[in-house]
Structure 1
């Protein structure tokens, strides 16, 4: 799973990327300092691991990780090829979610491609370019589906109908962005989370945005967070540790992190009846502390 860091040129994307991942991407005070995407991996903040580490006197703590991609800046007209826009938009298509970096500070020493600092305008520029790029992609696919309708296969007619609805919705996105008043713009900024701050919040929010959760394993050798998609059942979650765990899955012994910490130890949690035995249909929850039983 990848999170793409996007925005106008020279707004601090690589600076944020470096702060989060410590990857050392080049930062400079000029547009298009980044051409090819930089990739970095960072730990997902999870204080539960530290608590479990102390409880189990563990030798090693291994957090979940997430991948960030520092993508070169987009400019107005990117969807039409401005500023190597087509190349940069193709990089965005390869990520699973987007982190939009917006400049909200004044500094005459740092250039801005529009010469003035206006975060609302900049948000609209990027969102409009992304919507226009999506619109073009949908339009081409719809036209292809419509040409294939003559083959007589119903799936092409269904696809064309769905794509026509998506195309209409994207056209309306485009119209809304162009017609926002000041109050709507302020609401738009809040909806995009521009009032939040903190690198950990960015990482955690990105993890959640991708639909990911962590279950935990704990012991003297290691406390570790394992990344799974929300809704994953126990055997598939076990497979994240090793394929043999999934193939020979028998059951999962599960206690919630909160109940384990409240009890003070696994033994105490068992005595209180908080450790459950779950089968193949159990959907693993975020914060479950799990021991898998298997046989191969």
Structure 2
């Protein structure tokens, strides 16, 4: 799979769910997504104080931030990376035996815990909410374990109540942001009939109506123009959410907890279609400390019980609508992250901006075809190797060879 000097060779991606259907109001081909149009996106860990956020962050990213038993142990956010699991990347590394092996990563930020009233400035209030505004997706972590040595800011463990508190604080902050935007627009529209400003004003009112009804903005039915406005508002409730339930080690191993059914009912009712993953930060800490032999012995005694972190990482990656491709050869197998529905020139630009500016075409084969036939030559022989232009939408599992015109060098005077 070697490439000419003008372009790296190939690309493959981690699995992800089927793409979301576009709004009925928008053209089917646009695939406009909520959020920043970037491949450098971050998941933030959000929840009440003392629910296990920093412990989770440490095991997820192999970090060592403070995780103490008192509210606001975390004040300044910490950001680190977690490797995205991908068996296909491992296969290509085995196939190519490269000198350098660079996987895809998910950026994760540990954010200070909030308390009831954060939207009005209680606790770390505005600092907490501005840190959430800076990330692109949310791991909403809720506590579902009893421990007398770990205080709960509400006095007792009640995950559904905690979910209500966090969700309400995010909506209240969004309402505040939108009302501040709405007032000057309303004054402007009273003086002049600006169609663009009027459309923005109507979008703000639509968002406010949803939030005041207790619905998050990400569940709205938005057309392409509305998506542009919503993205410019940088709303907290527009961000994708993955719900994580932090269990005790014992409950995780025996796969039972009295709060799981009520939590699932809450998620299904308030956030239909979003993912709920039970895990245990204490178990993951213990698992990381085990030797390979100890893990083998443990799984023999407890069939099906293992680390859930790979699933959490991949779910967060997918929630941000990220996929990845990679260059592959004897020198290096490297993953490159792009947003789902990216066209070939944008994917090429992730490698180098010259690739995007001078894009000619992309030669394409799927990872599945390469795996089945064993080499690029055999894929060609099977008629599965394709040439695509600027409008080609890079698909999960593509292997790509980009061709481009190198920029002209200026003449020396």
TM-score of the superposed pair, with normalisation by structure 1: 0.92
1:150 and 2:190 matched: yes
2: CA distance, partners of 1:278 / 1:187: 46
Q: 1:76 matched to which residue of 2?
A: 116
Alignment map for 1:61-140 (pairs within 5 Å): 61-140=101-180
Flag the structure with more relative contact order, 1 or 2, with Cα contacts below 8 A and sequence separation at least 6: 2
Q: 1:41 matched to which residue of 2?
A: 81
Q: 1:233 aligns with which of 343, 354, 362?
A: 343
Q: Is the alpha carbon distance of 1:157 and 1:246 closer, same or farther for their aligned partners in structure 2, counting shifts above 3 Å?
A: closer
| Partners of 2:142 and 2:159 within 8 A in 1 | yes
1: CA distance, partners of 2:92 / 2:164: 44
Q: 1:292 aligns with which of 402, 406, 412?
A: 402
Q: 2:287 matched to which residue of 1?
A: none
Q: 2:203 matched to which residue of 1?
A: 162
Q: 1:13 matched to which residue of 2?
A: 53
Task: Using the TM superposition, give the Cα deviation of residue 23 of structure 1 relative to its aligned residue in structure 2, in angstroms.
Answer: 2.6
2: CA distance, partners of 1:26 / 1:11: 14
Q: 1:256 matched to which residue of 2?
A: 366
Q: Is the alpha carbon distance of 1:193 and 1:81 closer, same or farther for their aligned partners in structure 2, counting shifts above 3 Å?
A: same
Task: Using the TM superposition, give the Cα deviation of residue 12 of structure 1 relative to its aligned residue in structure 2, in angstroms.
Answer: 0.7
**Which segments of 5 or more consecutive residues in structure 1 lack a partner in the other structure?**
176-182
3-state secondary structure, aligned to 2:365:
strand
3-state secondary structure, aligned to 2:123:
helix
Q: 1:194 aligns with which of 269, 276, 283?
A: 276
2: CA distance, partners of 1:76 / 1:31: 13
2: CA distance, partners of 1:144 / 1:21: 43
2: CA distance, partners of 1:20 / 1:218: 27
Task: Using the TM superposition, give the Cα deviation of residue 184 of structure 1 relative to its aligned residue in structure 2, in angstroms.
Answer: 7.9
Deviations 1:208-240 (A, max 9, x none): 111111123211111121111111111221111
Deviations 1:152-191 (A, max 9, x none): 042333322221221111010179xxxxxxx986422355
Deviations 1:82-102 (A, max 9, x none): 112111111111111111111
Q: 2:232 matched to which residue of 1?
A: none
Q: Is the alpha carbon distance of 1:133 and 1:272 closer, same or farther for their aligned partners in structure 2, counting shifts above 3 Å?
A: same
Task: Using the TM superposition, give the Cα deviation of residue 196 of structure 1 relative to its aligned residue in structure 2, in angstroms.
Answer: 4.5
| Partners of 1:215 and 1:285 within 8 A in 2 | no
| Partners of 2:60 and 2:82 within 8 A in 1 | yes
| Partners of 1:216 and 1:288 within 8 A in 2 | no
TM-score of the superposed pair, with normalisation by structure 2: 0.67
1: CA distance, partners of 2:373 / 2:263: 48
| Partners of 1:55 and 1:264 within 8 A in 2 | no
Task: Using the TM superposition, give the Cα deviation of residue 291 of structure 1 relative to its aligned residue in structure 2, in angstroms.
Answer: 1.4
Matched length: 290
Task: Using the TM superposition, give the Cα deviation of residue 284 of structure 1 relative to its aligned residue in structure 2, in angstroms.
Answer: 0.7
Task: Using the TM superposition, give the Cα deviation of residue 24 of structure 1 relative to its aligned residue in structure 2, in angstroms.
Answer: 1.6
1: CA distance, partners of 2:275 / 2:359: 41
| Partners of 1:55 and 1:265 within 8 A in 2 | no
| Partners of 2:264 and 2:276 within 8 A in 1 | no
2: CA distance, partners of 1:64 / 1:153: 48
Q: 2:384 matched to which residue of 1?
A: 274
1:214 and 2:324 matched: yes
2: CA distance, partners of 1:2 / 1:214: 15
